[in-house]
Structure 1
Amino acid sequence: MSRLAGLLRQPRPASEESCRIRLGERDLEYVLRRSPRRSFALQVDHRGVRVAVPWPATQPEIDRFIRSHHDWLLEKLAVRVPPTVMTVEDGVLFPLLGETCRLCVGEGSRPARWRLGADGVEELMLPGGPGARKALVRALRARALPWFGERVAEFCFRLGHAVPAVRLSSARTRWGSCSSRSGIRLHWRLIHLPAALIDYVVAHEVAHLAEMNHSPRFWAVVTVLYPDWKAARARLRDAGRALPIIDGADAALIAED
């Protein structure tokens, strides 16, 4: 009986389906993803339009959400261009915590390591060969986790809340998530962004420790933790489109409610 109860408590798996909506004078096709998430999210990237919603969302609610972003959506579709995957080779520059970092790709199999270049630019030393791209992702994730953990601890201290477990995420439509059971997850690609924008995402997720919703009480907590959150949220949407695409599967995190 306990085994059956455990199976019944397992989260319902996410689903995806192709849908269509009439926007103005055009029919817009999009991929609808339903999952246990709490919020609605809209994304435009090289794959097209993707909408992520909670399982209970009704079609009228989904249509209203899409139409509420009508102008933004059509603007992004008008300028959408196929992304260019970042070249992983010696001398390539990429953003790290909002600053410029340089790749130094060599021969051999030595582990990735960070150093300060002679010109003051931070460098990431990588082994050459076909494994360089994976080594780059591993190095960025290893750099991200302790940084994010320290920021979560700082905002939890401000909130007066115990520090939860902090893990990395590769979600396609969310910068972060918070669960009372599993703790806080933050997208590893945030490591490319300036520290102030990372702090906004951290403050947002830490605020969920007090309010597991997006009610006025939740935003009041966010305001206490990060007073300039509205400006940061707008900047974050633009910053998502400028992130380097390393493995071709990365998605631009653009719009989320």
Structure 2
Amino acid sequence: MVLTLRRSARRSLALQIDHRGPRVSVPYGLAQSEVERFVRSHTRWLLDKLDERSERPLPEPMSLRDGAEFPLLGEGVRLRIGPASPRQVRWRLGTDGREELWLPASAVLDRTLVKALRARALAWFGGRVEEFCFRLNQEVPAVRLTSANTRWGSCSRSSGIRLHWRLIHLPPALSDYVVAHEVAHLEEMNHSPRFWAVVESLYPDWRAARQALRKAAETLPLIGGEPDPTPQED
């Protein structure tokens, strides 16, 4: 087993596993002995996760070809690759009434597709956060996207709410649970019974959604070199 070491400006240590294999992310300047101690303390978790992954097929990257399909808010959308001009990305309805995303053939397709999906995600989830905040009579915080493959979302009183952009693939009934979860943190910055009571007031069927979300994560498309989309709750 090869464990990749990644150093960054982060404050904490994290073990992650995706289609590229296991890796440990650590802060700049952390002693190698501390990294090794952290990995040894999580050996059982790491081996269990590797065993789980060996029992299910690895996701195949999405084929970026004209006519390929991908999920958007739980509905199938057709990818269309157009001529080099015009250069802009276009969302439109096809002749059969289904939504299509047109990308110029001259574009770097995986990057352009992700950029288009992130733009849709930010607009959609901004509206959903506003809706749930209205129900709690909470001020609407800043809403940003994340691509971290460890959590679906996070909430901070200083920086606002972050939601994983890949949630845009899922039906609103599932992604709404994540939004409700993070908005509930505006009232309870913990996972106490009070917090879950707030979640239930926003999303009564949260238990079923929580289970369905874990299964749905394994079905999300893998675009280009993006990490295997299997985040967890915050």
Please report the TM-score for the alignment, with normalisation by the length of structure 2.
0.81
2:106 alignment counterpart: 129
Match of 1:138 among 98, 115, 119: 115
1:46 alignment counterpart: 19
Distance of aligned partners of 1:219 and 1:48 in 2 relative to their CA distance in 1, 3 Å threshold: farther
The DSSP-based 3-state class of the residue aligned with 2:97 is: coil
CA distance in 1, matches of 2:233, 2:220: 17
Q: How does 1:9-88 map to 2 (within 5 A)?
A: 44-48=17-21, 66=45, 73=49, 76-88=52-64
Per-residue CA deviation, residues 195-240 of structure 1 (Å, 9 max, x unaligned), is 1111001000001101111111111111111111111111111111
CA distance in 1, matches of 2:161, 2:2: 33
2:208 alignment counterpart: 231
- Whether the aligned pair in 1 keeps the contact of 2:61 and 2:221 (CA below 8 Å) is yes
Distance of aligned partners of 1:41 and 1:150 in 2 relative to their CA distance in 1, 3 Å threshold: farther
The DSSP-based 3-state class of the residue aligned with 2:79 is: strand
Match of 1:157 among 104, 126, 134: 134
The DSSP-based 3-state class of the residue aligned with 1:154 is: helix
1:18 alignment counterpart: none
Over the matched positions of the two proteins, sequence identity in percent amounts to 60
- Whether the aligned pair in 2 keeps the contact of 1:42 and 1:255 (CA below 8 Å) is no
Does residue 93 of structure 1 match 2:69? yes
Letter in 2 for 1:177: S
CA distance in 2, matches of 1:204, 1:51: 27
CA distance in 1, matches of 2:14, 2:200: 22
CA distance in 2, matches of 1:41, 1:204: 22
How far residue 64 of structure 1 moved from its aligned partner, in angstroms, is: 11
Give me the CA root mean square deviation. 3.1
1:185 alignment counterpart: 162
1:103 alignment counterpart: 79
Give the unaligned 5+ runs of structure 2.
27-36
The DSSP-based 3-state class of the residue aligned with 1:129 is: coil
How far residue 88 of structure 1 moved from its aligned partner, in angstroms, is: 1.3
Letter in 1 for 2:136: L
How far residue 255 of structure 1 moved from its aligned partner, in angstroms, is: 3.9
CA distance in 1, matches of 2:218, 2:188: 29
- Whether the aligned pair in 1 keeps the contact of 2:152 and 2:231 (CA below 8 Å) is no
Q: 238-247 or 93-102: which moved more?
A: 238-247
Letter in 2 for 1:171: A
Q: How many residues align?
A: 220
Per-residue CA deviation, residues 22-52 of structure 1 (Å, 9 max, x unaligned), is xxxxxx9978999657xx9986532345689
Please report the TM-score for the alignment, with normalisation by the length of structure 1.
0.74
How far residue 132 of structure 1 moved from its aligned partner, in angstroms, is: 2.1
1:174 alignment counterpart: 151
1:242 alignment counterpart: 219
Please identify which structure carries the higher strand content: 1
2:197 alignment counterpart: 220
CA distance in 2, matches of 1:196, 1:41: 30
Give the unaligned 5+ runs of structure 1.
1-27
CA distance in 1, matches of 2:147, 2:231: 15
- Whether the aligned pair in 2 keeps the contact of 1:133 and 1:246 (CA below 8 Å) is yes
